[in-house]
Structure 1
Amino acid sequence: MNGHPPLSTDAVGVGLRRALIDPLLAAPAGAFDFLECAPENWIRVGGRLGEALETLSARHPITCHGLSLSLGGCTPLDETFLNRVRRFLDRHQVRLYSEHLSYCSDDGQLYDLLPIPFTEEAVHHVAARIRQTQDILGRRIAVENVSYYAAPHQAMTETDFVNAVLAEADCDLLLDVNNIFVNAINHRYDAHRFLAAMPGERIACIHVAGHYDEAEDLKVDTHGAAVKDAVWNLLGEAYHRFGPRPTLLERDFNFPPFAELLDELDTVRRTLDTQRAPAGHSVRV
């Protein structure tokens, strides 16, 4: 690893988006603790953007959140791509690589994150692909609980499915509290019970984001709005239940003035300070 210390459990980060390059470069020390990027969007990027990435990764710890691995897919994993990812992670000394517990390919890229059936067969299939990914990358990864809008065959609950995959693959969890909130509304379940069923010892990082209120009973996970109060409350509950974890504010478009994003990062810090769990919790990062 490079000169950056390991991420502290109370580290607060923001997404490395091209639209934010200039304010991220100009941000004062301490404005954020780490940056997260999608390696697909940065591998082999040169010119001004490549130089900006080099500068930012020298200044700040970088984590990576993949978009196209398709862990739930049926076509073989793209080992050439995974080896490129490994070189990118090594080059930028990335301490955490995560992907989505979903699939996004079927004889070609589908450009969406689609839900996996909650079945024992799917558990074995996905866990094997996660283990293969970890072998190729030479490191543990975390997988994220995803938002979804159609529910394929469900022979088991989502919480049982997530826990079974994590256990069989022996990987970590990227806990997205906005996804829990959105799914709870859309699929009529209790967000608090879902959160309580997550394995705290496997949570490597937390994501928090905004969503779009399509209707009272339909929420869309957009990452294009400010975080809602109900999601802040769920984040506080996660801290209280599991202890502090590195937390990433996701914003992908509709960017407000950078000062407003920094205000949301301060809300993460205040939420953490007021909802700390008893000492003794640990996390691998």
Structure 2
Amino acid sequence: MQNTVGLGLRREFLDEVLTQAPNVGFWELAPENWFPRGNEAYRTLDRIREQAPLTSHGLSLSIGSPDALDIEFIKKVKTFLDRFDIAIYSEHLSYCSAGGHLYDLLPIPFTDEAVAHVVERIRQVQDIIERPLVLENVSYYASFANELSELDFINAVLAQADCKLLLDVNNVFVNSVNHRYDPYDFIAGLPSKRIIYGHIAGHTEEYDDLFVDTHGADVKQEVWDLLDFAYQQHGLFPTVLERDFNIPPLPTLLAEMNKITTHQQRVVGAREQRFQKHSA
């Protein structure tokens, strides 16, 4: 992907996408929401990818689970990615199954043992899908067995598995409030070469010290500021606006998505001004 902006594809505005072909850099979707639906759904995706490329953000891989990997599921994902020429398969650095599906994304303990467990599973997935696995830093509300910091855990997984990172800027901000760390230091500590693309989203402020990553509100200014810093620190990367609940009309979503372009242009403009100043 180039330095473009994307939007999560949702059924609430699917008909409008098909009839209006809105100006979106790329669409992000969850493979498991599509591949059980058959040929009609596939024809719909073929029409959509004539407008803009597709990328994928899965929900069910459960990379940190104690359960065995679902190899048949991963093979279905691979077939889906190949069918629609999708280069990127991203998932969550978390787990959602343990003796059965748990219907939530739960945090992996930040330990060396957990790093080794996850790294081995990532390698298996990458061998099957024949692509790098791209993992998202997740929001979490309780932490367990923290031998490592969240940042050290993520960096260890990325390095040892030789995989890539989906940088969710809102999750960094939410976690920084809930777990009392500096979000700017966190983002500065991530490896630029691993970042493939990013997410921004809205969250809910339940209390002063408890923010919840709901994907159901507009992006807060603190998150926009943090996105600017991430661009400054790591260079521009493609970025998706996520909205899963309280979904507004598509033109409203597109206007918020286009703010990403404005922030990217602002960072580039500031960089050019600094270059011209030093060159004068």
**Under a length normalisation based on structure 2, what TM-score does the superposition of the two structures give?**
0.93
Deviation of the 1:265 alpha carbon: 1.4
- Counterpart-to-counterpart distance in 1, 2:6 and 2:13: 13
Q: Which residue of 1 aligns with 2:145?
A: 153
Q: Check whether the contact 1:21–1:52 (CA below 8 A) recurs between aligned residues.
A: no
How many pairs are equivalent?
271
Q: Select which of 163, 186, 189 maps to 1:171.
A: 163
Give the Å deviation of 1:259: 1.0
The Cα offsets for residues 62-101 of structure 1, whole Å up to 9 and x where unpaired, read as 1111111110001110000000000000001001111100
Question: Equivalent residue of 1:56, what SS?
Answer: helix
Q: Secondary structure at the match of 1:98?
A: strand
Structure 1 residues 206-243: Cα deviation after superposition (integer angstroms, max 9, x where no partner): 00001111111111001111111110111111111111
**Are the aligned partners of 2:87 and 2:131 in contact in 1 as well (CA < 8 Å)?**
no
Q: Is the 8 A contact 2:6 2:240 kept in 1?
A: yes
Q: Distance in 1 between matches of 2:69 and 2:39?
A: 30
> Helix, strand or coil: the match of 1:110?
strand
- C-alpha distance in 1 between matches for 2:136 and 2:68: 20
Query: Whose Rg is larger?
Result: 2
Does 1:227 pair with 2:219? yes
Q: 1: distance between equivalents of 2:28 and 2:63? A: 20
Deviation at residue 58 of structure 1 after TM alignment: 3.1
Counterpart code for 1:172:
K
Worse overlay, 269-278 or 144-153: 269-278
- TM-fit CA distance, 1:17: 1.1
- Secondary structure, aligned partner of 1:269: helix
What residue in structure 1 maps to residue 275 of structure 2? none
CA distance in 1, matches of 2:128, 2:162: 15
Which of 105, 109, 117 is the equivalent residue of 2:97?
105
| C-alpha distance in structure 1 between counterparts of 2:7 and 2:19, whole Å | 14
Stretch moving more, 234-243 or 17-26: 17-26
Query: SS where residue 254 of structure 2 aligns?
Result: helix
* 3-state secondary structure, aligned to 1:275: helix
Aligned-residue offset at 1:36: 0.5
> Which of these residues, 111, 128, 132, is aligned with residue 124 of structure 2?
132
2:190 to 195, 198, 220: 198
Instruction: Assess if the C-alpha contact under 8 Å between 1:243 and 1:278 holds in 2.
Output: no
Deviation track 1:39-77 (CA, whole Å, cap 9, x = no partner) reads 111113136544322211233211111111110001110
Which secondary structure does the structure 1 equivalent of 2:28 belong to?
strand
- Unpaired runs of 5+ residues, structure 1, are 1-6, 280-285
Distance apart, 1:14 and its partner CA: 0.4
Could you tell me which amino acid in structure 2 is paired with residue 23 of structure 1?
A: E
- Corresponding residue for residue 250 of structure 1: 242
Return the TM-score normalized by structure 1: 0.92
Worse-matched range after superposition: 56-65 or 163-172: 56-65
2:116 pairs with 1:116:
no
SS at structure 2 position matched to 1:129 = helix
Q: Is the 8 A contact 2:96 2:105 kept in 1?
A: yes
The share of aligned pairs that are identical, in percent, is 52
| Cα contact 2:95–2:108 (8 A) shared by 1 | yes
Structure-2 change in CA distance of 1:147 and 1:278 (3 Å): same
Structure 1 residue aligned with 2:16: 23
Alpha-carbon distance in 2 for matches of 1:191, 1:263: 26
Deviations 1:224-278 (A, max 9, x none): 1111111011111111111111111101121111111111111100001111386
Q: Which structure dedicates a bigger proportion of its chain to helix? A: 2
* 5+ long unaligned stretches in structure 2: 273-280
Mapping of residues 176-195 of structure 1, within 5 Å: 176-195=168-187
Residue 254 (structure 2) pairs with residue 274 (structure 1): no
Determine the structure 2 residue equivalent to 1:4: none
For 1:32, which of 13, 24, 35 is the aligned residue?
Answer: 24
Alpha-carbon distance in structure 2 between the residues aligned to 1:169 and 1:20: 37
Q: Aligned pair 1:240/2:208, yes or no?
A: no
Match of 1:89 in 2: 81
1:66 to 34, 41, 58: 58
